[in-house]
A and B are shown apart, each in its own frame.
Chain A
Amino acid sequence: MAKTIDDELLVEKFSRGDETAFDRIVEGYSADIAVLANRLLGWPGEVEDIVQDVFLAAFLGLKKFRCECSLKTWLFTITINKCRSYRYRQMLNLRFFSKPAATTSATGASDVGKTLVDDETFRKVRHAVQALPLKYREPVILRYLQELSTDETARILDISKNVLQVRLSRARERLKRDLAELIG
């Protein structure tokens, strides 16, 4: 709650022309946005361009932000849209120039000491998440990995809570089916 009030103050300051407020917003949310973008794009590890784009869009639109939702929700919505555009551009590149997609190959910085079996298992889990259609993947990441509330997730995705529940349920069904051989 305190963070929300702080956010509102920062937005208010920025609207009055104090650009240092924006610096504080970037400091506060860049890590969260980077993590979300990393998950949405399939754990590529490098998401600096996306985060830069998100804050550019935020800088341009912050004066129009009316605090109807939290700043975090608003920034996450921008992130979702930027990731969708990024994936769409990648898909076009793949289609027209036959470049391989960079989103599904990442293994990230695996912890040293984990067994090869675990590594392989988790890689398959991430791959299963990436294989989900966009409308199922986004709710799964926001709800289970970002651990946002149902309300926030529904608001970010601009869908009703019922639709969100249905999509999560279907996503779980698919994951169960895809990961059955791993987990048994």
Chain B
Amino acid sequence: MTEDTIKNLLQQADRAAGEPALVSIDLSAVRRNANRRQTINLAVRIVAAAVVVIALGIWSFSAKKTRDRQRIVALEMQIEQLRAQTDATLRLIREVLDEDRKQRRLNELQAQLASYTDPLEEIKKQVDKTAFILVYQANRMYRELDQKDAAIQAYNRVIEFFPQSRWAEEAQQRISEIQNEQTNNSKGDLI
């Protein structure tokens, strides 16, 4: 069976079925339906656009909210860091101030200490003074009161109590003078 045979057979069968019933198109109905569909399409587009706008609004609002939340969290972290830094700085300042106070107190104490005279020196002075007084009294006993023995006794006391002082040498020298003088006097008496 060739293509043409099939085609002929099909066309004969088609013709045998006859033409469809006369179609009368209601153009006013077509226009009415078209207008209705266009209106519906427009309404659907408007609704869709409104939905999209609302969705975008909600999305941007939630995105903004999320962004705000993230910013708040970031700011809170920054504040926390700044607080920690401030605390550390305050601790450092407090330590520096304490150190400064201690240094000042130390300086004051050192100044105070520096203002005090050395007790050893004082004692030395007093010792020297005592030795001097004893030598002075011994000198008076010898020269003004002519109490040679008492004077020698006093000089010996100086030598005994203050052997390191210069007055001990002075006392020794006086004793030697007195003894020389006594020796010379006894020689003179003998002569």
Interface residues in chain A, defined as those with a beta carbon under 8 Å from any beta carbon in chain B = 19, 22-23, 26, 30-31, 34-35, 37-39, 43-48, 51-52, 55-56, 59-60, 106-111, 114, 118-119, 121-123, 125-126, 129, 140, 144-145, 172, 175-176, 179-180, 183
Majority DSSP secondary structure for residues of A touching B: helix
Give chain B residues whose Cβ lies under 8 Å from the Cβ of A107: 17
Kindly identify, within residues 1 to 48 of chain B, every residue whose CB is under 8 Å from any CB belonging to chain A.
Answer: 1, 3, 5-7, 9-21, 23-27, 29-31, 33-34, 37-38
Closest residue of A by beta carbon distance from B19: A35
Per the bound structure, the CA–CA distance linking A39 and B17 in Å amounts to 9
Cβ-defined contact, B25 with A129, below 8 A: no
CA distance A31 to B20 in the complex (A): 9
Q: Are A145 and B27 in contact (CB under 8 A)?
A: no
A109 CB contacts on chain B under 8 angstroms: 17-19
Is the CB–CB distance between B25 and A51 below 8 Å? Answer: yes
Determine the residue in chain B with the shortest Cβ distance to A44: B20
CA distance A84 to B29 in the complex (A): 23
Whether the pair B17, A126 counts as a contact (CB closer than 8 A) is yes
In the assembled complex, the Cα of A37 lies from the Cα of B6 at a distance in Å of 21
Q: Which residues between 82 and 136 of chain B lie within 8 Å of chain A, taking CB atoms? A: none
Report which of B20, B31, B34 forms a contact with A47, defined as CB distance below 8 A: B20
Q: A23-B27, A52-B29, A56-B34 are in contact. Are A34 and B20 (CB under 8 A)?
A: yes
A109 to chain B, nearest CB (A): 4
**Alpha-carbon gap, A107 to B187, bound state (A):** 196
Q: Are B1 and A46 in contact (CB under 8 A)?
A: no
Is the beta-carbon distance between A52 and B26 smaller than 8 angstroms? yes
Asked, given contacts A30-B23, A144-B6, A145-B11, whether A60 binds B34 with beta carbons under 8 Å apart, the answer is yes
Contact A110:B27 (CB < 8 A) given known A172-B6, A176-B6, A179-B9: no
Q: Chain A residues near B10 (CB, 8 Å)? A: 125, 129, 140, 144-145, 175
- Considering only CB atoms, which chain A residue lies closest to B9 in the complex? A125
Give Cα A106 to B25, complex, Å.
23
A175 to B20, CA, bound (A): 24
Q: Bound state CA distance, A46 and B11, in angstroms?
A: 20
Q: How far is the CA of A110 from the CA of B19 in the complex (A)?
A: 10
CB-based contact B37/A126 at 8 Å = no
Report how far A22 CA is from B37 CA in the complex, Å: 17
In chain B, what residue has the closest Cβ to A146? B14
